[in-house]
Structure formats: structure tokens, C-alpha cells
Structure 1
């Protein structure tokens, strides 16, 4: 047995080993897994101007006072329609260069408002230019500093057709005879700000209200007499979990190889389908299907998931679904 009280060398080596192991487990492994994140279907790649604007956003220290993260709590609903997921940051997580990791835009302080959805809340480029030149020109109570160095002053004769003149009120001008012209840097920054619109995930649920009316039935059904689980899966689940069951990294979990899907007992899978799921921050919120699907339909979907993409778990019966549904109803009474 090692005596750490006297064997200082062993103590140091053991401490270093534990530190290295924890660093790999807590930092390196999650960082590696995050590299597999994929963009949401509704997302568009950032333009060259928006990428330059992001660089300017970082260099001007905007991250010190503004967050870009919507948490799954009531007070954050004002900043976005849903909690943020890793896929939201797909196009802003690129490395700056070989030596520098992508800048953190999540932020940790809201001295100013969260900017996750600022492109929808405030889409006017002119407003952003005025706000950046002197925030008090558009928000009287603002404590945000101005960024006049991102603008130039020109006389009436010096202004050309290519210049973007900012209509700054006279009381905010140092010289009322001069015009304030936006630089290329601040125009890029504004392009980035107006592009900040929380990607829509509601589209993947558009089919739900009409699910029961529009679902096609399988010819002859399955051997168990259930509806066609593959068709129901395509109409109900594939938009998120994908047709191949691999999900979308950073947004929707995979079903292929899932221990929950392959569990000998289907209870957890049935409960998730009935109640929805919102327990893992790295994935989007799953809507509940208890009021949208019958016991037979849920059994057919679960059976399809448990027998596809290499999954080999026993079939699910409507009776099993009914039992779980009744149990949930009892808990909610």
C-alpha cells in the first residue's frame, strides 16, 4: 500500500493521473462528441459578411455583456421560443485558426439582453447602426457604451453614393455639420446581428395536428394486426429522428442502437412517446403524443423502432401501451 504521507513522489504522480483522467472525462471527451453536431434543417450557412461580423462581435467584447443562450426556464421565454440546443451554434463553432478554438458566444452575464433572437426582435439595420454609434439615441436608459470608432465623419461633399449614412440625431453629434458614415466593419457586425434568429424547429411538428386524419394505413396491416409502424414512423418521427433512425447530432437523439429502444422492457420507450421528453439539454424538446396517437399506433411505432436499423427487441402490444397510459393517468390524478 502506498503511504502518501511519506512517499511524496507517489502522491504527486497519483494527483497528476487523477487530474489528467478527470480532464479527459470532463473536457476532452465531451468536446470530441460535440464535433459531431449537425445543423438544423432550417439553418442557413453564414455569409462571408456575417462571419466577419461574428469576429468583430468577439473582438469588441460584446460577449462580456450579452448572452446567446435560451435556458429551459420560464424567465428565458422572452429570449426565444425554445431552449437552445448544440445545433444552434453549428456555424459559429468553427476554429478561428490552428491555435485558437472557436470563440464562446454563449456568454455568462446579461448586463444587456440576450441576442439569440435579436434578428427577429429587431430586424432593422438602421436601428442597429444607431444603437452601435450611440445606444442612448434609440434606448434612453441604455448603459451600453457606444462604438464611434466603427464610424467615420464626413462632410456633405465627401459623402458618396456608396456610403451608408447613419441618421444620428443632432444632439448626439459632436459636429452637427458632419455626416456619420458606417464602416465596412460595423456593417458586417450588423449583418451578423440581424442574422441571429433562433432556427425554427416547429416545422418538424407541423404534421401532428392532422396526424390522425392523414395517416395512411398499411395494406393488410402487420402480422399482429397493428397499423403499419414504418408509415406511422415516417409521418410522426422521421422528421426529427431521421428515416435511418440516426437522429440529428446536437438536436435529436438516435434510435438506432439506443439502449432505451432495445431494452427488454418497453415501458420507458412507451412513456417517452406518451409524455414527451425534455431531460437532456443537448437535445431538443420532444412533444407528447398521448393525445395524438392511439394505443395501437404507439405499439406499431415502438415495434418498428425496436426491430429496425439493427435493433432487435421484442414487439410491443397495445395492451402494454394501455397499461402504461393508465398508470400515467393515475399519477396525474
Structure 2
């Protein structure tokens, strides 16, 4: 009983138990996890700009509204090609000696999940416009604007990244909007968020509660893509820039309604090349990323998008068949390499 009366021995013993338990319960399992869970071989380390952008992402509270995790539920398919796994976060290290770095998996989806946003929205121009004022590209957005990440210059230098916005959002004094290094770093981090492909020897877990696929699913069944498929592909990959009405955003992204490139069959090769490899029409509009190559479009998906755009918003172009454009799609894919 003298042991309990001696506060020195009591506290030393309690401290010893605490240290031992911490080692076995927390430290050893953590070290074991670092050995067992390694980044996927195809995972690309963050660049210096992306690392700085990640710090900005944290400091501006983006994690409060965006998740970075794809659950094995059917509703999460739109965010990634497979459910997230421990290896996706294994490359996360400490910010410095004093601070650990959260995985930024998030807690809710007030905004969309960002797991694969680098593939879903690879356009630097779109991301910069979206940061400057999200309502320009997504009218219903509740995301705050970040105009303090931009400068207004009357005569930008050739090294400045000028952000093209519609006239009603442009500065009234005629100056131009220029992205600061912080804006470019934040975009670099967003563009780095790409779901790494699994090695051939690994099989991704199935999404639960799978819905039955439509018979017209050309990508899976190899048949002809329907206009409905084309509309879904347009909404997922094109609508953010060219808008639901096909009118684009004057000064930022070109319209598809009444476009000669869309309607004229003589421009079919150029049309497919733009879908697959993107296009830079500066200074009139922002540059378009290589949407088709990044998303791995097949000839069926390209045909579905073309047929939807040629039959929408008053356009009346000739419909195409996947077999008809396969050689062109394969050729422009080869050019991209």
C-alpha cells in the first residue's frame, strides 16, 4: 500500500505504462502501415508548385466542402473509375517537423469530390475562371470567389497568365485579369489530383449496388452510341465550358451553337482533333485541354458527342457512325503521343 502513498512512484509508473501503450498501440501500427501501404507505381509525386498549392487549398478551407475519396458505391462512379484505397494516400507526408498533413479526404460534398478532377477538368483556363468567380462557369455554384488571387493590369507582360472572362465580369477600367503565382499554384494542385491506374495484377473492388447498364452503352457493348449517351458525355466533359445551351462564354469559351466546325462535314477531322487533343485559339478564347485523350474516349464516345452536338441548339449537321470516324480517332490519338 506504500506504493499508492508515494506520488513519485505512482506517477513514474503511470508514465511508463502510457509510453509503453503508446508505442504498441499507436507508433508500431503506424510504422507497420507505412511499410505495408505504399503509393501505387503509377502515382506521380506532387511538383513544387502543387505542394504550395496544396498548402493554399488547406489554408483557404477548400477541404470543408470538397472530399477526395471515392467510396465503393454506385453513386460515386462519376468521381473516379474505381473506389479509393489506402495506397492512394500512402504518399502523404508531413508538412514539416511540427505539422502533419491530413489526407484531405474531407467530410462532405457541398462541392463535388475532387479525387480525379485533374482528369475531369484539366483546363487551366477553366480552373482560373472558376477561382476568380465560380458563377461565371456554374451559375448555381455556392462556392466563394477568390478575386484576391488575381491582379488587374493595364499592360500585362508576355509572361503573365491573362484570364479571359465574359465582358460583364471584366474590369470596368479596361485592365486585364492576371493570375498571381498563388492562383497558378492552387490550380497546379487541382490538376495534379488524378486517380492513379492500378497495376495489371491488381483488381479494383466493384462498386456496390450497381445499376443495370443500358443496352445502348456503346463503350461496353461495342454498339452504336445513342444521342442520350452523347448528352451524358457532353454534360460530364464539355458543358462546364460550352454551357448547357451551347452558347459558351463570350471572351472565355467559344459557342458550339451555329459553329461551322461542328456542323460542316468538311471539318470533321479538325472537329475530332479538337475533341481529342484540345485547341488553343488565343487571344480570342482560352485554351481547351485534350479532353478526349485525357478521358480515353473511344470512337463510340466521340461519335456520340458529335451526334449530340450536331443535333442540339438548332445545329443540323450530318450524323456520323463510330466505324466511319475510327481511323480519324486512332490517327489523332497517335498524334497526341
Structure 1: how far apart are the matches of 2:177 and 2:59? 22
Structure 2: how far apart are the matches of 1:65 and 1:18? 40
Structure 2: how far apart are the matches of 1:129 and 1:197? 18
Unaligned runs of 5+ in 1: 2-10, 207-333
Q: Please, which of 183, 187, 191 is the counterpart of residue 186 of structure 1?
A: 183
Task: Report the counterpart of residue 78 of structure 1 in structure 2.
Answer: 78
Task: Give the superposition deviation at 1:126.
Answer: 0.5
Q: Please, which of 148, 151, 158 is the counterpart of residue 161 of structure 1?
A: 158
Structure 2: how far apart are the matches of 1:16 and 1:170? 67
Structure 2: how far apart are the matches of 1:102 and 1:63? 12
Instruction: List per-residue Cα deviations over 1:134-160 (Å, max 9, x = no partner).
Output: 0001111000001111110111xx211
Task: Give the superposition deviation at 1:15.
Answer: 9.6
Secondary structure in 1 matching 2:90: helix
Task: Report the counterpart of residue 318 of structure 1 in structure 2.
Answer: none
Task: Report the counterpart of residue 64 of structure 2 in structure 1.
Answer: 64
Secondary structure in 2 matching 1:181: strand
Unaligned runs of 5+ in 2: 2-9, 204-337
Contact 2:67 2:107 in 1 (8 A): yes
Secondary structure in 1 matching 2:107: coil
State whether structure 2 residue 164 is matched by structure 1 residue 138. Answer: no
Task: Report the counterpart of residue 33 of structure 2 in structure 1.
Answer: 34
Contact 1:65 1:109 in 2 (8 A): yes
Change (3 A) 1:54 1:33: same
Q: Please, which of 154, 167, 170 is the counterpart of residue 170 of structure 1?
A: 167
Contact 2:150 2:180 in 1 (8 A): yes
Instruction: List per-residue Cα deviations over 1:145-200 (Å, max 9, x = no partner).
Output: 01111110111xx2110000001222224535121100111111111111111001
Task: Report the counterpart of residue 200 of structure 1 in structure 2.
Answer: 197
- Give the aligned CA root-mean-square deviation in angstroms: 3.0
Change (3 A) 1:141 1:162: same
Task: Give the superposition deviation at 1:31.
Answer: 2.7
Residue pairs, 1:172-321, within 5 angstroms: 172-175=169-172, 177-201=174-198, 203-204=200-201
Structure 1: how far apart are the matches of 2:21 and 2:64? 29
Q: Which structure would you say has the larger Rg?
A: 1
Instruction: List per-residue Cα deviations over 1:50-76 (Å, max 9, x = no partner).
Output: 111112111211111111111122222
Contact 1:52 1:189 in 2 (8 A): yes
The size of the alignment, in residue pairs, is 202
What TM-score does the superposition give when structure 2 sets the normalisation length? 0.52
Structure 2: how far apart are the matches of 1:20 and 1:146? 47
Instruction: List per-residue Cα deviations over 1:262-286 (Å, max 9, x = no partner).
Output: xxxxxxxxxxxxxxxxxxxxxxxxx
Task: Give the superposition deviation at 1:24.
Answer: 5.7
Change (3 A) 1:164 1:22: same
Following TM superposition, where does structure 1 have runs of at least 4 consecutive aligned residues deviating by more than 3 angstroms? 11-30, 202-206
Task: Give the superposition deviation at 1:23.
Answer: 6.0
Contact 1:154 1:180 in 2 (8 A): yes
Change (3 A) 1:82 1:20: farther
Residue pairs, 1:121-136, within 5 angstroms: 121-136=120-135
Contact 2:89 2:103 in 1 (8 A): no
Structure 2: how far apart are the matches of 1:171 and 1:123? 25
Instruction: List per-residue Cα deviations over 1:233-289 (Å, max 9, x = no partner).
Output: xxxxxxxxxxxxxxxxxxxxxxxxxxxxxxxxxxxxxxxxxxxxxxxxxxxxxxxxx
Structure 2: how far apart are the matches of 1:172 and 1:98? 43
Structure 2: how far apart are the matches of 1:97 and 1:75? 37
What TM-score does the superposition give when structure 1 sets the normalisation length? 0.53
Structure 1: how far apart are the matches of 2:156 and 2:99? 39
Most deviating of 176-185 and 11-20: 11-20
